[in-house]
Amino acid sequence: MKMTLEERYQKKFSTSKVWFDKGKSLFAGGITHQTRFTSPFPPYFERAMGAFKYDVDGNEIIDYVMGNGSLLMGHSPSEVTAAVNDQSSEGTHLGGASTHEIKYAEAVKRLMPSMERVRFTSSGTESTYLAIRLARAFTGKNKIVKFHEHFHGWHDYVTPQSGQSLGGIPKEVLGTVIVSPVDSARVEKILSEDNDIAAVIIESNGAHYGTFPLSNPTFLENLRLITAKHNVVFIMDEVITGFRLSAGGAQGRWDLEPDLTTVAKIVAGGQPGAAVGGRAEIMELMAFRDDEDWDTLGRVPQGGTYNAAPISAAAGIATLEAIATGKVNEKADTMANRLKDGLNDSFMKNEVMGHAHGISSIIHINMGLTCNCDRNLCSMPYEDIYRTMTPDKITGMRRAMLVNGVDMMGGRAFLVSSAHNEGIIDRTIDAFSESLNNLREDGVL
């Protein structure tokens, strides 16, 4: 009797099951990041190089998670590993200001000029938290507007309707967050009727890094105009889009100038690191003024033991300098287009209703419904995306692709790097075609 996908998964990743059982006695839920769980257990990886990672069972897996989007150049690129190795012997934490942070900020500003002043943090969550606090201090207002399903980290102010549960968040905090549908007229109405709005924050290519795409650049352009009209701070969350949608991120791709920008992931070259930047008059609210009242009561504070830590700075500088040449994005985008075309061919050849879409080096799939979009910015209504990409399809696709030697981001996306080549892309397309057949055999499709 032919094995089911789950039985094949259990067999292929049997040693990972042993490690997961150990983890359950050490970590809440057995994992250290909420997206690392997959049913019935996650694969455990030991090393990675280029477009591949290798698990505890010795399986070679083509990787499209790419450090949750942080590895635009693939795993262990030579210029980044050399920079990290060189710095590690010169000091991992200097406990004070360093020349590294100056060079790091200069590298960021070259690619995103709208960041007139920069402050480094250690994660995207910290960056959006700090940006919101700055917006409140600058405007003297309390509320923020975010969008349905848009994800900006796990802190209290951005969790509502982000695809996460609300456990532990005070009702008083929830009262300061307004969740809007992706409708510029609705945003205009909210800002017109409520004069206590400090900021509007948005994932720059749509909820969950474009799973629910925006009609860009029009939507972002409209937001820029509306927020400026109402003197509300416009925050572009470029944690994933930064340096990926173009060398200058979404704002560079579509010629936008937000008030504040949050970046993470690629900005630190795969090391822990992130940043907030924007208009000098907003960012300078963090500066000391040699005024006791201001410095102790008025200033926006920010700590962070690992802000611009030397190793993160070294990795970030090496990565951003490589991106500035234009070659990294060009290679990743070219391979992503090849992958997207191949995935769409697989849907047709296997007579499975669905499609692949995406811009730059981020590719998404939808299964179960046809769509007349141009396969770049998908025009499928959000309700149809929810209805077609059900949990059983998402979980099933990730499991099937892993069995066939490929790790997808969340079971519905591919984050392509410049380390992927034509042969690797073609292997991925073959794995996807086989996975569609496997899901049909298991009754998922």
Q: Is the pLDDT of residue 183 over 90?
A: yes
Asked if pLDDT for residue 355 goes beyond 90, the answer is yes
Task: Using pLDDT thresholds of 50, 70 and 90, give the confidence band for residue 417.
Answer: very high
* 239-258 confidence digits (pLDDT tens): 999 999 999 999 999 999 99
| Nearest-angstrom CA–CA distance, 6 and 12 | 10
**What band does 228 get if pLDDT is binned at 50, 70 and 90?**
very high
* Residue 302: CA count within 13 A, CB half-sphere: 26
As a whole-number percent, the residues of the chain with pLDDT over 70 amount to 100
pLDDT at 360: 96
Residue 43: cis peptide before it, omega within 30 degrees of 0:
no
314 neighbors 99 (Cβ within 8 angstroms): no
What confidence tier does 195 reach under pLDDT thresholds 50, 70, 90?
very high
What's the rounded Cα separation, in Å, for the pair 250 and 42?
A: 32
> Counting beta carbons within 10 angstroms of the beta carbon of residue 260, is it exposed (0 to 12), middle (13 to 18) or buried (19 or more)?
buried
Task: Check pLDDT > 80 for residue 48.
Answer: yes
Respond yes or no on whether the N-terminal peptide bond of residue 310 is cis (omega within 30° of 0): no
Q: Summarize the confidence of residues 148-156 as an average pLDDT.
A: 91
Averaged pLDDT for residues 61-69 = 97
Delineate the domains of the chain, giving CATH numbers in brackets: 5-75+327-441 (3.90.1150.10), 78-324 (3.40.640.10)
The pLDDT, as a whole number, for residue 389 is: 85
Confidence class of residue 126 from pLDDT cuts 50, 70 and 90? very high
| The predicted structure's pLDDT at residue 156 | 85
Give the pLDDT of residue 382.
85
What's the pLDDT band for 260 if we cut at 50, 70, 90?
very high
Mean pLDDT (the chain) is 94
Helices (H), 65-183: 66-69, 78-88, 99-111, 124-139, 171-174
Q: How far is residue 376's CA from residue 356's CA, in Å, rounded to a whole number?
A: 9
The encoded tokens of residue 355 equal 């499609």
pLDDT band at 379 (very low <50, low <70, confident <90, very high): confident
More confident of the two residues 2 and 350 = 350
